[in-house]
């Protein structure tokens, strides 16, 4: 009987832990031009709660895996915009955009490297 109670308790614990998973993956449109942009975008998204961010230069889409209990997608977008890159819902910080290397100024067109 004691073993059955322990097994039932263990099963409920496993179910409870699996139900609490808050790790989410989302895609986000982010403007940029080149490898330098990729590095800057991925570094900007490296905030508490973000597990991984990969930006694709060709599609201009960032795939972000994050813990939704620690950070929101809106906070991630704001961090990227603060680095000078526009997202689907956030305009780039003007000062940061002006400070980007000429190659990375996506509003002027493609990178000419």
Q: 69 lies in a domain?
A: yes
> Is residue 101 included in any domain, yes or no?
yes
Look at residue 10 and tell me if it is in a domain.
no
Percentage of the chain lying above the pLDDT 90 cut: 73
Kindly state whether residue 17 falls inside one of the protein's structural domains.
Answer: no
Q: What is the mean pLDDT of the chain?
A: 86
Cβ contacts of residue 2 below 8 Å, gap of 6+? Answer: none
pTM of this structure: 0.79
Give me the domain span that covers residue 30.
Answer: 22-106
CATH of the domain at 39: 3.30.70.100
pLDDT tens-digit readout, 57-93: 999 999 999 999 999 999 999 999 999 999 999 999 9
Question: Per the structure, how many domains does the chain have?
Answer: 1
Alpha helices in the chain (DSSP H): 2-19, 35-44, 73-82, 94-98
């Amino acid at each position: 009987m004691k073993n059955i109670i322990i097994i039932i308790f263990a099963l409920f614990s496993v179910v409870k832990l699996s139900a609490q998973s808050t790790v989410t993956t989302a895609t986000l449109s982010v403007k940029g031009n080149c490898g330098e942009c990729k590095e800057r975008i991925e570094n900007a998204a490296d905030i508490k709660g973000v597990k991984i961010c990969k930006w694709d230069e060709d599609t201009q889409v960032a795939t972000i895996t994050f813990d939704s209990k620690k950070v929101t997608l809106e906070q991630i977008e704001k961090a990227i915009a603060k680095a000078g890159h526009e997202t689907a819902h956030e305009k780039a910080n003007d000062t940061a955009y002006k400070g980007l290397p000429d190659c990375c100024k996506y509003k002027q067109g493609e990178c000419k490297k």
